[in-house]
Amino acid sequence: MGQLHVFFFPLMAHGHMIPTLDMAKLFASRGVKPTIITTPLNAPFFTKTIDRNKNLGIEISLIVIKFPVVEAGLPEGCENADQLHSDELVVKFLKATAILQEPLKHVLQQGRPNCLVADMLFPWATDVAAKFGIPRLVFHGTSFFALCAWESMRLYKPHNKVSSDSEPFIVPHLPHEIKLTRMQVTPHEREAYADHYRKVLGRKAWHIGPVSLCNKEVEDKAQRGKETSIDEHQCLKWLDSKEPNSVLYVCFGSIANLTAAQLYEMAVGLEASGQQFIWVVRKGENEEENENWLPEGYEERMKGKGLIIRGWAPQVLILDHEAVGGFVTHCGWNSTLEGVSAGVVMVTWPVFAEQFYNEKLVTEILRIGIGVGAQENTTRVASGIKREAIEKAVKRIMVGEEAEEMRSRARAFKDAAKKAVEEGGSSYSDLNALIEELSSYHP
């Protein structure tokens, strides 16, 4: 039997491209030949890691297809979801991705892979792959928990049975009693969720993560997504000087933004909490406005205590450092899983997409986090959380008995995550089962 060849086609967003690269590495480590499809301006995010892996004897190929920026009416150079600063741009971006059907057809015809793993936001990829008799897998990039909650909402529409946006309803037929409000679900719309998804909802699925755990060396952990805005060794040196579990890491992923007023509240809230922190502030569209949010003399006062990274941080490297004990997260699924894998306790602050579901998983089911009180799913922009709420939630996860209890649960999940991806673990075995099944279609 020849070598299996799998094509991966992620959405052009860091939260989708980063785990795809990890998956490609994992597949390659099991003898499968991986090829990633992307667009010209996203290619550089892959090439450095691909080159590094090549030197280690791991071959990952890259196919670059043109992104129809002009046809879709997008501004020139707009090829990644982190550039979509308005709803109008989001619509145009998704329209542009749909035009990728034609180049995908061509790529599949030429390459004839044994399987196409395409993003959940590319539903049309199934038909394109079927034309060539190629099985297509959907890469969701989110949790079984969120998928089960999503499906329950779609089937039973509990949000239509309450009389106001703030009245809580139960998400029906889940193993746990999960309450949400209409404001927390998308505008359009652990222990048992992988089984629930497969057995109760009847879906075929493979869990192969946390995929970020395939990164073992400093360089692998530091080099994910964009070029980091801080030298990783400088960052490690800063962390090395701190006590275990004494630093809080604050980051909202690659897409969410905070209003200037919210950044100000965050700054004051973090200072009031008395905790040491690394805070990642994404470079926004308006650099100048981005600077006006800091209270007078803030960075001077915080010297040695609080480190602000403007731009892109080596997140996994930071989370995995023993000095880091807490994580203020927007509950993007990659960040959530990376937090679980690092055994940190979280302050959950969901912003958009399925992040409100992920918050419930962290705070109510895994019980390794405290919600900051986010109320509304707001397509990418976080606002409205007061300094007192930030201070209180941060203190609750960093100090005291409750924090210790959460930390010991978080440690157990960290160990379980590590075991899952080790030889013989559940994710390791599921990836084997997937590869075996794909091989059985392969003459």
**Binding of ligand UDP by 253 (CB under 6 A):** yes
**176 among known catalytic residues:** no
Residue 136 binds ligand UDP (CB under 6 A): no
The yes or no reply on residue 255 touching ligand UDP (CB under 6 A) is yes
Residues 6 or more apart in contact with residue 287 via CB below 8 angstroms: none
Cis peptide before 295 (omega within 30 of 0): no
Give 13 or 134: the residue with its C-beta nearer to ligand UDP. Answer: 13
User: What is the C-alpha end-to-end distance of the chain, expressed in Å?
Assistant: 7
77 φ, ψ to 5°?
85, 0
Between 103 and 332, whose beta carbon lies closer to ligand UDP? 332
Nearer to ligand UDP, 338 or 359 (CB): 338
Query: Does 28 engage in binding with ligand UDP (CB under 6 A)?
Result: no
Q: Name which of residues 1 to 20 contact ligand UDP (CB under 6 A).
A: 13-15, 18
**According to CB under 6 A, which one of 114, 181, 262, 334 is a site residue for ligand UDP?**
334
Cβ-based nearer residue to ligand UDP, 108 or 149? 149
CB 199 within 8 A of CB 149: no
Our CA dihedral for 310, 315, 317, 320, rounded to 10 degrees, sits at 130
CB of 200 to ligand UDP, least distance (A): 26
Strand arrangement, sheet containing 115-119: 61-64, 33-38, 5-9, 115-119, 136-139
Residue 414 lies near ligand UDP (rule: CB under 6 A): no
Q: Is 159 a catalytic residue?
A: no
Nearest distance, CB of residue 236 and ligand UDP, angstroms: 15
Q: Least Å distance between CB 272 and ligand UDP? A: 24
Whole-angstrom CA distances from 302 to 232, 258, 260, 272, 289 are 20, 21, 19, 11, 21
Task: Please tell me whether residue 333 binds ligand UDP under the rule CB under 6 A.
Answer: yes
Alpha-carbon distance of 115 to 124, in angstroms, equals 15
User: b/e map of 121-149 (b: 16 or more CB within 10 Å)?
Assistant: bbeebeebbeeeebebbbbbbbbbbbbbb
Site for ligand UDP in 338-357 (CB under 6 A): 338
Q: Of 14, 16, 196, 330, which one is the catalytic site residue?
A: 16
Name beta bridge partners: 179.
Answer: 170
335 binds ligand UDP (CB under 6 A): yes
CA dihedral 284, 288, 290, 295 (to 10 degrees): 170
Q: How near is the Cβ of 136 to ligand UDP at its closest, in Å?
A: 22
| Cβ atoms 255, 380 nearer than 8 A | yes
Give the x/- contact pattern for ligand UDP in 198-237, rule: CB under 6 A.
--------------------------xx------------
Binding site for ligand UDP (CB under 6 A): 13-15, 18, 224-225, 251, 253-256, 280, 312-313, 315-316, 332-335, 338
Q: Which residues are catalytic?
A: 16, 119
